[in-house]
Structure formats: structure tokens, C-alpha cells
Amino acid sequence: MYPVAHMGIAVGGVWAGEKIFRWLARRPELNHRWRTDVDYRLVALGALVPDAIDKPLYRLTSIPSDHTIGHTLLFSLALIAAGALLARRGEPRILWLGLGSLSHPMVDPVIAYPQTLFWPLLGWGFVPSPGIPGWYLRAIDAGLVAVAAAAWWRRSAGFRERARRFVRAGVV
């Protein structure tokens, strides 16, 4: 689990998807219906949901893998379907979580395990996990991002304003 990498890829993917959608839907009536701005904080949080579900299950139970229910397409697609229904009523937060969680299995090594990715279509079991990476890998991940953000923060007033807007409103 590399949380910063998962969050960055999810936010970048949803941002690119939103830009492509808006470009394809240049018709005013479609653009008018898509007036909800994406809350990228929820997309980033959604990218961490599969690990927030599966890691405790792995540690606290006898499940032989740390890539189980949360790392399946079924889980992400169920979140997206529920989110789409709620978004039609003006409440898109679950949709943003679902889109963030969809990016997670695509980045994790679970992409190499179709039995987990397409669970339960290919069977009810999960591929045994090789283990969870050490804390030091997560610390290196967070440290690198902190150093890069600090450097950008010092050099760019535009970056500072974008960072403040992201924290306040979830806008990229």
C-alpha cells in the first residue's frame, strides 16, 4: 500500500476523465446537467477505501490475503452504481468515493490476479498474499511527497493557492 501514489493516480485519472467528458459533451444541455464539481478530496479518500477494508481483515482474521473484497471490481462498481443513483438526486459524494476506489485495484498487484479482480466470477477464493510491505516503504513514499510539496510551496505562489483550494473545497 502506497497511499500517496494511490491518491495521486485516482485524482489524476478522475481529473482527466472529467476533462474528456466535458470536451465530448460540448452540447450545452449535457454540460448543464453536469454542473456538479468533483470533490477530489473524496476521490483521494476513495482510493484508500480498499486497503482500509482489506488490511484489517487480513490482520484480524484468518483470511490468507490482504487483497480481498475491497480490491474486487464488484466492490468498486457497486459503490459507483449506488453513487450514480444518489448523484441523480444531487448527492454525488458516494460516486466520487467509488471512482477513487476503482483506480485502486488497477494500480495494485491485484491486476495480475484475475481470481481476485473478477471475484466471484472466477471462484470464491482469493490468491494468498505475499505480505504487507514494511512501514519504511510508506515512510519513504510520504517523505518524498512532503519534500516535493515543500519545494513547490516555496517556489510557486500559484501552487500555494491551488493547494489551499484543494484543502478548502476539493477542487484541483
Q: What confidence tens digit (pLDDT) does each residue in 54-101 have?
A: 888 888 888 878 888 888 999 999 999 999 999 888 888 899 999 999
Pick the residue with more confidence: 5 or 86?
A: 86
What is the average pLDDT value for the chain, to the nearest integer? 80
- Position 168 scores a pLDDT of 82
Helix axes 40-60, 93-107, angle to 10 degrees: 60
Q: Per-residue confidence at 28, pLDDT binned at 50, 70, 90?
A: low
Mean pLDDT of 132-147: 65
Buried b (16+ CB within 10 A) or exposed e, 68-84: bebbbbebbeebbeebe
- Position 5 scores a pLDDT of 80
Q: Which one, of 26, 71, 32, lies nearest residue 48 by Cα?
A: 71
CA dist., res. 55 & res. 36, Å (int): 33
Quick check: helix, strand or coil at residue 119?
coil
- Position 140 scores a pLDDT of 65
The structure's pTM equals: 0.71
Q: Per-residue confidence at 49, pLDDT binned at 50, 70, 90?
A: very high
